[in-house]
Chains A and B, each alone.
Chain A
Amino acid sequence: DSGVTQTPKHLITATGQRVTLRCSPRSGDLSVYWYQQSLDQGLQFLIQYYNGEERAKGNILERFSAQQFPDLHSELNLSSLELGDSALYFCASRPTVGGTGELFFGEGSRLTVL
C-alpha cells in the first residue's frame, strides 16, 4: 500500500460524457502528479500540483482539467470523452520532507469509454 488513494477504481461511461477522478496523496505530501497510461503505452505525464498550485503541465488535452484542493486531494476532470480516452489514470505523490524525488503511485482509475 503506497498510501495514495484513488477513486473510483473502475469507471465505464459513454462518449461525450464527463467524469471526475479523485486522488488523495500520502499524508504530508504536498505534490500530486497525474499520469495517463493507455494500452501498451508508457506513462504520459498530464499535470502536477504543489500545495494547491499548478506546477507543471504535460500533454494534457484542453478537454481535461485538474485542481488540488486545500485539503490536498486532487481531482482530474475529463469531459467530452472520446474512445481514445480509455486508459488507466494514475495519481502519484512525492514526499515533501526528505526523500529524493521518488513518486508513490496510487492503484489507478481504469476508465473505459464506450
Chain B
Amino acid sequence: AQSVSQHNHHVILSEAASLELGCNYSYGGTVNLFWYVQYPGQHPQLLLKYFSGDPLVKGIKGFEAEFIKSKFSFNLRKPSVQWSDTAEYFCALNTNAGKSTFGDGTTLTVKP
C-alpha cells in the first residue's frame, strides 16, 4: 500500500523567513511526486512535480523541492516566504497504476 506523510500540521512563519515542509512517502515502486497548494477559498493546484531526472525541481512562485530516494522524501522549500504564501500545502504521489495519494496537508500561515 502507498502512503504519504506530512510532518507538520500547522506552520507559522514571519515574512522573509525560510520554509521547509517535510514529506515522506511509502511505496516500493516508481513514483511521481507532487506538491499542491490550496489558497484560502480556492481549489488545489499544482505547485511542482518530480517524475524523473534532476531530483531538485523548481516550481512556481519560487518554491522548490528535493527528491531524496534513499530517504523516501520530497521536502518543499522556499528561501523567503511572503504573506501571499499563506495556504494549505499537500504532498502527493502517483504510481504507475494511476492511483493518487495525498498527505494530510500542512497549513502555512505567514505573518506580515
| A binding-site residues for B, Cβ under 8 Å | 2, 31, 33, 35, 40-43, 45, 48, 50, 55-56, 90, 92, 94, 100-108
Contacts and interface: CB of A to CB of B under 8 A. Distances in A.
Contacts of A104: 46
A42 B104 contact: yes
Contact of A2 (B43, B49, B92, B101): B43
Contacts of A108: 43
A42 B105 contact: yes
B44 A102 contact: no
Interface of B: 32, 34, 36, 42-46, 49, 51, 90, 92, 94, 98-105, 107
Given A42-B90, A43-B105, A101 B100 contact: yes
Given A42-B90, A43-B90, A102-B49, A90 B44 contact: yes
27 contacts: A41-B104, A41-B105, A42-B102, A42-B103, A42-B105, A45-B101, A48-B98, A48-B99, A50-B98, A55-B98, A56-B99, A90-B43, A92-B44, A94-B98, A94-B100, A100-B32, A101-B94, A102-B46, A102-B49, A102-B94, A103-B36, A103-B46, A103-B92, A103-B100, A105-B45, A107-B42, A107-B43
Contacts of B45: 2, 105
The 10 closest A-B pairs by CB, nearest first: A101-B94, A100-B51, A42-B105, A105-B43, A42-B104, A101-B32, A43-B102, A100-B32, A105-B44, A102-B46
